[in-house]
Structure 1
Amino acid sequence: MKFLCVSDQIDPLVYSTTLKERYGDVDAVFCAGDLSLEYVDFIVTALGKPTFFVFGNHNLEDYDLYTKSDHNNSMTPFQQASRGHGGDHSGQKVFASKHLFFTDSSGKKTPLLIAGADGSMRYNNGKCQFTEGQMFRTLLKMVPKLLWNKIRYGRYLDVFLTHASPRHIHDREDPCHKGFECFNWFIRKFSPALMIHGHIHLYDLQAVRCTKTEKTTVVNAYSHIVVEMKKNFTKGAAHESDISIISDR
């Protein structure tokens, strides 16, 4: 499968009338936060491919529509639907895609398994910011579904979509841009083949944006990047994946 991954910056190569010509062969789009949902809507409309998004620490106008809050609970289903968007919010949940499937060596189809986490490290008590403990508790709530994936599909997870990065992988030392240590724990325990994050802006063309840790390839989706995932379902290697970077910047 081939994925278009975007975050943090409206990219003129993506926000273009030639988007379908450039990226029409992707199977899905992953949006790693700090993008307006109007931009996400444009991508959904132009490509017509399954699109998944999480919220970052900016562009939070519609955040309450997708999270539990007094504001959200006070809205009628019609009000929520009228302000809905085309992408699927993937924050704070684990799910199997209904539209994206791998085919194993026996010809059986198995869905793409996705988990996501909104937000960044807390730095000024703003919306969609979390302490290390809060994010760890969020991940713990995902464990039952991850265990079910392992029983049903033979693996916990394929794609982990977040806004923040893991601690000491692509992150920075200022309070806002520190990564979560619990993401490293999550990677060790549940071995997603691919982790897609945003939040860390890349101004240097030489900056590292793809790192292998444990069995996971961690990719910074800043602006845009195209990633290909190939799963190996041969006997004895059912959980292996090959991740390739097709294009970036």
Structure 2
Amino acid sequence: MKILAVSDRVLDKLYHGHARHTLPDIDLLIGCGDLPFYYLDFLTSAFDAPLVYVHGNHDHGPQYGDDGRVWSEVRGGVNIHGKVVARRGLILAGLEGSMRYKAYSDYMYTEREMRLVVAQLVPRLLWNRQRLGRALDILVTHSPPFGVHDRSDLPHTGFKVFLSFLRLFKPRYHLHGHIHIYRQDEVTRTQVDETTVINVYPYHVLQLD
């Protein structure tokens, strides 16, 4: 199983007709937010793979593509915010957006607001654990957990509830975006208990056994 996760930045390396030759054998696409819908749509076609995604804090709709088309959502993709889904034998859950730093935004949350969204996932995850022996394989978010890959300013502060989530449900991976990387020595992969947290900005290929 080979997963291509993307976030926050359109890459010429992927946004061209030979993308499938650059990164062959991609089985699943994961969008971690703040990417144009037309770009995600292109990736689903270029790699001929299913897409799941969450919105970032800068996402908005409708969006306008390079050809003038209006995009209200990603055609061929599934928005998994607040959902638990199965794809390619994996169990995934998604949580969109960032910490709220404006009075109103569709994709910003206070810590309390995010806790309420997370609470809606709990019954399905407990059911998975009882029936399947595991609650979740991959958590997909835009923002990182608090204190892991995040920044000190409010817009880039991670959510504390994500830490509780990881310790309770123990997914193998937590993939996030939102935190832009400008230096090669910045940490993008951190272990939190049994979960490997990865900042996928601007893309990351994850190979699963």
What TM-score do the two structures reach when normalised by structure 2? 0.92
The aligned runs of 1:34-113 (5 Å cut-off) are: 34-62=34-62, 85-97=75-87, 100-101=88-89, 112-113=90-91
**How many Å separate the matches in 2 of 1:213 and 1:33?**
22
Ranges of 4+ aligned residues in structure 1 off by more than 3 Å: 81-84
* 2:158 maps to 1:179: yes
CA distance in 2, matches of 1:12, 1:54: 22
Q: Residues 215 and 62 (structure 1 numbering): CA distance in 2 closer, same or farther, change over 3 Å?
A: farther
Give the aligned partner of residue 12 of structure 2.
12
Aligned to 1:31: 31
Cα distance between partner residues in 2 of 1:44 and 1:10: 14
Q: Distance in 2 between matches of 1:163 and 1:84?
A: 16
Question: Does residue 1:220 correspond to 2:199, yes or no?
Answer: yes
* Structure 1 residues 82 and 203: alpha-carbon distance in aligned structure 2, compared to 1, 3 A threshold: closer
1:117 corresponds to which residue? 95
Amino acid at match of 1:34: D
**Shift, 1:11, TM fit:** 1.2
Q: Select the residue among 116, 137, 145 that pairs with 1:166.
A: 145
3-state SS, counterpart of residue 29 of structure 2:
strand
Give the deviation of 1:86 after TM superposition.
1.3
Q: Displacement, 1:127?
A: 2.5
Instruction: Provide structure 1 residue ranges, at least 5 long, that are not aligned to the other structure.
Output: 64-80, 102-111, 231-249
Looking at structure 2, the residues matched to 23 and 115 of structure 1 have their Cα atoms a distance apart, in angstroms, of 25
**SS across alignment from 2:156:** coil
What's the offset of the Cα at 1:62?
4.3
Identity of aligned residues (%): 39
Alpha-carbon distance between aligned partners in 1 of 2:78 and 2:191, rounded to the nearest angstrom: 27
CA distance in 2, matches of 1:82, 1:136: 27
Partner of 1:106: none
Cα offsets for 1:49-74 (capped at 9, x unmatched):
011110001121149xxxxxxxxxxx
CA distance in 2, matches of 1:155, 1:229: 16
Structure 2 unaligned residues grouped into runs of 5+: 64-70
Instruction: Give the number of equivalent residue pairs.
Output: 201
The one-letter code of the counterpart of 1:86 is: G
TM-aligned CA distance change 1:82 to 1:177, over 3 Å: closer
* Kept after mapping to 2: 8 A contact 1:40/1:86: no
CA contact (8 A) 1:53 1:88 kept: yes
Deviation at 1:82, TM superposition (A): 8.6
Query: For 1:176, what is the secondary structure of its paired residue?
Result: helix
Q: In the superposition, relative to structure 1, how do residues 161 and 180 fare at CA in structure 2: closer, same or farther (>3 Å)?
A: same
